[in-house]
Amino acid sequence: MGGWSRRKLLASLALAAAGQGAIVNGWQSRPIRRQLGREMPNKGKLALEDYEPKSMLHVSETPVPRARFPVIDFHTHLSWSARRRQVTEAHNNATPEEVLPIMDRKNLRMMVNLTGGYGKVLEQTINYWQKPHPERFMVFTEPWFEKITEPGYAQFQADQIVHAQALGARGLKLLKTLGLYLREQVTRGPLVKIDDPRFDLMWEAAGARRMPVAIHTSDPEAFFLPTDRFNERYEELSAHPDWSFYGKDYPSNLELQEARNRVMARHPRTQFVVLHVGDSENLPYVSELLDRYPNMHVETGARIGELGRQPRASRRFFDKYQDRILFGTDAVPGGNDTPQQIFGERLYEIYYRFLETEDEYFDYAPAPKPPQGRWRIYGIGLPEKILRKVYYENAERLLGLKR
Ligand SMILES: [Zn+2]
């Protein structure tokens, strides 16, 4: 807006504020609108998707090309199971040769590939990533949910954990499938609850074998609300309508969290890593849970957008729970529809900047528009002692890597 029109607008606002009434308002409205129209091609109306405001803040930018200490990324998806016709196979999202140079440049010592699958897929995945590079890649197994309809599933699933460990799997991963997708007849019928007793032997088997359980429960709170103008993730939900869990027979976020809590309470020997900080919008709640369940840990994947927009609360959270927080990104090599998760140098630089610096108001994802919500983040400048724990010490302990 040019100087003249801005002055004129301010003058009219001043008149209106002075209580000049309807006549003045009627008089001023037309010329101003015409003026706006001339300077803004779409008459002052701009589609939300076209809006890309650039911050005018003059604040310091501290690039962090390498992490200060060697990092274990506890939450990645280097591969997953893909079903082609009747056959399920391992689908690799990258090759080790593509990933390793980036890891070296970023001081990324190890990546934990959580979605290793089960059975044959698990074996393929371990042989592809972990066996040739045991110091760099680690693979977790997943439950064989398709078998839930079969009698004796509970024991079968517990045996699978033992089998997976024999193959080389180092932990168990649960997608949000449990709680939000898995149904009694797999894809039909009522949703299976997270604390369904059929999984009790599985949780116990993982605990007995010292395999940590990485569990993703529920999703951002906004995903359980209508996708409307009040929804802070409106654009994200519009881009991914299938991520909405509003309505239908979905449990609430709290019901899902509470069901997971009952599992942690029932299996105190089993170490749970609650992915995505559990309920990252509600750190007081997550703190309460960490106080209540000594076998609970959290991981940061795809949630620095949440942590970084409440930097003071986050800093206190990292202080208090420094022994229970694991570094994770939820990185997936390739693709472009979830910029907050695309494996690459820029992604790690943002995480490192958030954890290591006190920079202000920067993007939480390598994307022209903040993909999870229209805000920016602030670094929490962790001291070295906490950085070491979050970057690798806590993960080492849980994964049994400590020599
Ligand atoms: Zn993930």
DSSP 132-167: T-TTTEEE-B---GGGGGSTTHHHHHHHHHHHHHHH
Ordered DSSP codes for 66-98:
S-SS-EEEEEE-SEEEEEETTEEEEEESS-HHH
Distance 329 CA to ligand 1 centre (A): 8
pLDDT at 66 over 90: yes
Distance 77 CA to ligand 1 centre (A): 7
Distance 360 CA to ligand 1 centre (A): 27
Q: Choose among 106, 74, 192: nearest CA to 143.
A: 192
pLDDT tier, 336 (very low <50, low <70, confident <90, very high otherwise):
confident
Segment 139-157 mean pLDDT: 97
pLDDT at 28 over 70: no
Distance 56 CA to ligand 1 centre (A): 34
User: Which helix H or strand E contains 183, and what residues bound it?
Assistant: strand 183-185
Residues 6+ apart with CB under 8 A from 133: 96, 100
The confidence score (pLDDT) of residue 18 equals 40
Distance 19 CA to ligand 1 centre (A): 56
Distance 150 CA to ligand 1 centre (A): 28
Cα–Cα distance measured from residue 88 to residue 94, given in angstroms and rounded to the nearest whole number: 18
Distance 69 CA to ligand 1 centre (A): 23
The confidence score (pLDDT) of residue 35 equals 53
Distance 344 CA to ligand 1 centre (A): 16
Burial state string for 209-225 with b = 16 or more CB within 10 A and e = fewer than 16 = bebbbbbbbbbbbbbbb
- The amino acid that residue 61 corresponds to is E
pLDDT at 250 over 60: yes
Distance 112 CA to ligand 1 centre (A): 11
Distance 170 CA to ligand 1 centre (A): 17
Distance 54 CA to ligand 1 centre (A): 30
Q: For 281-328, what is each residue's pLDDT tens digit?
A: 999 999 999 999 999 999 999 999 999 999 999 999 999 999 999 999
Cα–Cα distance measured from residue 347 to residue 342, given in angstroms and rounded to the nearest whole number: 7
pLDDT tier, 402 (very low <50, low <70, confident <90, very high otherwise):
confident
The confidence score (pLDDT) of residue 26 equals 41
Cα–Cα distance measured from residue 379 to residue 355, given in angstroms and rounded to the nearest whole number: 6
The confidence score (pLDDT) of residue 12 equals 44
Cα–Cα distance measured from residue 200 to residue 308, given in angstroms and rounded to the nearest whole number: 36
Distance 18 CA to ligand 1 centre (A): 56
The confidence score (pLDDT) of residue 111 equals 98
Cα–Cα distance measured from residue 143 to residue 152, given in angstroms and rounded to the nearest whole number: 14
Distance 313 CA to ligand 1 centre (A): 24
Predicted TM-score (pTM) of this structure: 0.89
Distance 354 CA to ligand 1 centre (A): 20
Distance 288 CA to ligand 1 centre (A): 24
Distance 209 CA to ligand 1 centre (A): 23
- The amino acid that residue 58 corresponds to is H
Residues 6+ apart with CB under 8 A from 236: 243, 371, 372, 373
Cα–Cα distance measured from residue 142 to residue 170, given in angstroms and rounded to the nearest whole number: 11
User: Which helix H or strand E contains 291, and what residues bound it?
Assistant: helix 283-292
The confidence score (pLDDT) of residue 86 equals 83
Distance 403 CA to ligand 1 centre (A): 28
